[in-house]
Each structure stands twice: as C-alpha cells, then as structure tokens.
Amino acid sequence: MKIVNEKKINEILEATRNPSRNKILEILKKALKKRGLELEEVGYLVNTEDPKLIKKMFAVSGRIKKEIYGDRLVFFAPLYVSNFCINDCEYCGFHRRNPAPRKKLTLEEVRQQVKILENMGHKRLLLEFGEHPKENPIDYVVDVIKTVYSTKSGRGEIRRVNVNLAATTVENYRKLKEAGIGTYQLFQETYHRKTYESLHNGPKADYDRQIFAHDRAFKAGIDDVGLGVLFGLYDYRFDVLGLVSHAQYLDEKYGVGPHTFSVPRWQPADTVSWKSPPYPVSEKELLKIISILRMAVPYTGMIISTRERPEIRAKAFEIGISQTSAASRTSPGGYGKEEGLAQFTLSDRRTLDDVLKSVLKQGLLPSFCTACYRKGRTGELFMSIAKPGNIKNLCTPNAILTFKEYLEDYASEDVKKMGLKIIDKQLRNISDKNMRKEVKIRLERIENGERDIYF
C-alpha cells in the first residue's frame, strides 16, 4: 500500500484546475458532515483562488472546528534539548555545516528549563532533538523524558511529554512508549520525493526511512502520532494532498489516523543561505491550507507555532487550529537566558500571559488539558470519540478545569478577570446539567487548593 502516489496526486491537481463555484459549494456542503474529504475534493479546494469562495471555506472550517472541539485552544511549549545533528538539511539552522557552538542540555539543565516553563504555567511540553547517535542516543532521550516528568516547581508539573525525534527503530520506539510519551511527532517536510532527497544530506535523506517511521512507531505500540509539512519546500498544493494521503493511509491500515497535523512555514535561520524558500507560501495561502486540512481530516488536532505573527495565529485559531505553542524558544537552554544556536526565527515572542489575553479577547477557552493520555483515550479509543465529533464533551470541561488552575496559580490580574468571565460563559454552554454541576463542584475544589482534577 502506497502512502503517497505522486502520479495520482499530479493527475488530480491537473484535473481539478479552475474549479467552478458550484463544485466548491458542493464540496463545502459535504465537508459540513464532518466525515472528511476525498483527495480529488481536496484538489479542487487547493486549486481555488476566488477570494469569495475562500472566505466561505474559512466559515465552513471554522464551524467544523467549533462543532468538534468547541472554543477550546490547547497550549504547549517546545523544549529544545540538543542541537547536535549529523544531517545537513538545506532549510534548518541546526544543519551540520553551521559552525556555531552546539549545545546539549545536562539533566540538571533540563530540570532548570522545565522549572522555568512550569512557573509560566505550562503543563505540556514538546521535546526536540537533533539527530546524532553519539550525542543524542535513545537512552539519553529516555532519561530526559523521565527528568521532565519528575521535575516539580511549586504547584507546577509537566503532565504530558510529546517528542519530536528523528526516524528510528521499532526497538527505540518501544523505549519511548515505555517512558510514557504522549504524541510521537515527525514531519515528512515535503512529500515530493525528488525535492526531499535534494534538500537532505545524511541519514535523513532516506525518504522511505522518514515516511515509514510512523509505521514502526505503531508496531512498537505508539498509537498517537503527529504528521506535518514544512511549507515552502515544494508546491503547497502537492504537499497538502500528500499530508491528507498519509493520514488516510494510517487510518486505513491501523484504524487510527494522526492525532495532529502541524503546518509550519519555512522561516530564516542562521547560516541558511535562502532569502526565501524555493516555493514561498504566503500568509493567505497558509490560512487556506489550514482551512482545507480542517475540512479534509476533521477529527485531527491542528498545531500552529510561534513561527507566525500574532495576527495570523489569531485568524488561524478561528478557522481550524486547535493547539498552539506560546512563549517559545528554539535553542537548547533558551528559556530564561539569551538564546544560542536556534533552529529558526520566531515571529511571535509574546509571553504566555500576553498570548492568553489575546485569545480571551477572541472568546476562546485556553486549555492545558492532558486528560486523554492519562485516561488511556488514545489510538482507536480516541478516534471513536473524535470522529463522531463528541470529543468536545470532554474537552470543554477539562479545559475549564485546567484553565482555572492557571488562573489561580499563574495569571496576571487582567487575565484572571477575563478568564473567569470565559469560564462562566463556557459553563453555561455545557448542555448536560449533571456535567455542568460536576464541573462547578470541581472548580470549587480547585479554589480550595486541589489540583490535577479531570474527566
């Protein structure tokens, strides 16, 4: 079974050029059923250039996101652990040719960084490692994960650790599973084989090793994976179809689609010679991509990072994004001090509190929830709840409870005032009277000092 059929994708893109208005409206009507779209239908959408139709697409994808996930927006922070890397990727600041000094955190430095993030209020981390068998062996990765989970600062704790790690073996994925990771995240970067191979030098240049990594993770028992594309490396229309094709492949083969899509665009980095990427993607095109992916694979969480400007992030939250990083740093040891070698340039450097203030003004509900992973609602069980659109019945109550913790322990006065109003509004929106009553009881328990209460 092929993950990506390049010939088929190119034929679809050619056959769906210049779509009619009626065709797009027909696809949007189908999308509202929240059962996903076929590749050909995605082809019509990526070939749409009419601003009025794109506006309709945004309205539909925004409605789908709200119906599945409600108003909640999950927050996390990346923690760059090591920028040692043996690959020479043309687009990345960590590439082998970069002569800048490299940094690998000791376990004590990991603890220091984790405490800084906990004191901000973060409960979820995404660990990032360069690929280097000597400096970043799997046992080191596992020790870092264990250190993160065991580090506490006041009432702060990290309850879920996701990992972005180079493609590896089934045996190594088993070690990650045993260490208690949440999502295993790995991007294909681009699904176009020739372009992929031309942009990489080193072990990562093996296209098949990269694209079948999630299969090996499933074989090792990891049933929660994240996919992504680095937009700008190749024609975004091709890569959107490649991403959807990969999701459909996993769903068909394992009965479990991706837990998340990530949609980073290339950003400048130290010693990367590009003034712009080979296939530039505009902010408007990025928003179109987000909207299409939300319609094509509606159950999947979608992530946007601090690569993007605050204004674009805010719009993305409305039309499809359900998870976001905040107050990020992209160099090892970068929290609380001047950054060293960074992987890429950030466009949103606001504090977590400032990002929350903006999100609350939009009427969204910030969430620091990790309940599904700790309740075992992953893989097929998660899909059985998410695909019918029922996940918000758990997401909203858990978001309320975790945000209440943030308001009690970390929020500025402005955010606390705004946040309490949003919680009151979200409580009223819970249609199940018994659930609403139970959430109120648990909110009182949090006010009285209890923590980590979830459904």
* Residue pLDDT, tens place only, 191-206: 999 999 999 999 999 9
Query: Does residue 446 sit in helix, strand or coil?
Result: helix
3-state SS, residue 451: coil
Question: What would the two tokens of residue 149 be?
Answer: 């989970």
Q: Of 378, 355, 374, 377, nearest to 366 (Cα)? A: 355
The C-alpha atoms of residue 280 and residue 263 are separated, in whole angstroms, by 14
| Local mean pLDDT, 10-residue blocks, the chain (455 residues) | 94 97 98 98 98 98 96 97 96 92 96 98 98 97 98 97 98 98 98 98 98 98 97 98 98 96 94 92 98 97 97 98 96 85 88 97 97 89 88 94 98 98 97 96 97 95
Pairing assessment for the beta strands 156-157 and 160-164 based on DSSP bridges: unpaired
pTM: 0.96
Tell me the pLDDT tens digit for each residue of 6-42: 999 999 999 999 999 999 999 999 999 999 999 999 9
Asked whether the beta carbons of 240 and 207 are under 8 A apart, the reply is no
- With both helix axes pointing from N to C terminus, report the angle between 283-296 and 236-254 in degrees, rounded to the nearest 10: 20
67-377: what fold?
Answer: TIM Barrel (3.20.20)
Helix and strand counts by DSSP (H, E) for the chain = 19, 11
